[in-house]
Structure 1
Amino acid sequence: MANYAGFGLELAMKRLLKDPLGHFLLLGLGLFVVFAWVSENEPSGDDGVIEVDREALLAYIQYHAQAFSPEAAAAHFDALSDEELERLVDAHVREEALYREALALGMDKTDHVIKHRL
């Protein structure tokens, strides 16, 4: 009985290899495997992580205060309470996420207002 099951599988494989649809499916599977292997080994510059450090927050404060003095921004940053710092981080992350989404949607190329802002 086991020999018969193996024979059926062998016959099905022969039919699949002779059929043009089988060629198409095998070629598609091969391309999928190669693409998955190449994209897995390729280093990604943007992995979706938004890094927040002191320098990024200082730049964010300077931009929103429209006072580009690094000393004033650092003094303001150091005077923030924990709650204010958390709100600042949330606002910075939200703005960065929206910026990345706009770039991903190609709005920097099609929307003139966003293009001007970027």
Structure 2
Amino acid sequence: MEARTRVLIKGWLCVTLLGVAVSEVEALIFVATFFPFSDSALLPVILAHLASTVILVMVWAVRDARSAYQRALDDGYVRLAPRTRVVTGIARDCPRRWLVVLHIQLHPELIDL
């Protein structure tokens, strides 16, 4: 498997796991709150809500990562190679650094692999 493909898969896996983790916490809250009072008719509604939560969290994470990368680029926290868009470094004190790294993982063309 090509290195860029591995980086891209790792990025999307992180985004997906974040969405699933948020959905799991929400499911725990639903079960603890409504399970004693609900019947099985609510189960499809809860499952649809949890599935949409995964999708919404994934969209949020990708957009937030793009915003963090652009802000880091504008503020000089991301170093680019001369005359290219290839990222050569990210400052350690970069705010929301993990989102900048996530954006780069989702766009492996930004790094030289």
Shared fold by TM > 0.5? no
TM-score w.r.t. the length of structure 2 is 0.36
Larger radius of gyration: 1
Q: Which has more helix, going by share of residues? A: 1
| Structure with bigger RCO (C-alpha 8 Å, 6+ apart) | 2
Q: When the two structures are superposed, what TM-score results if normalisation uses the length of structure 1?
A: 0.35
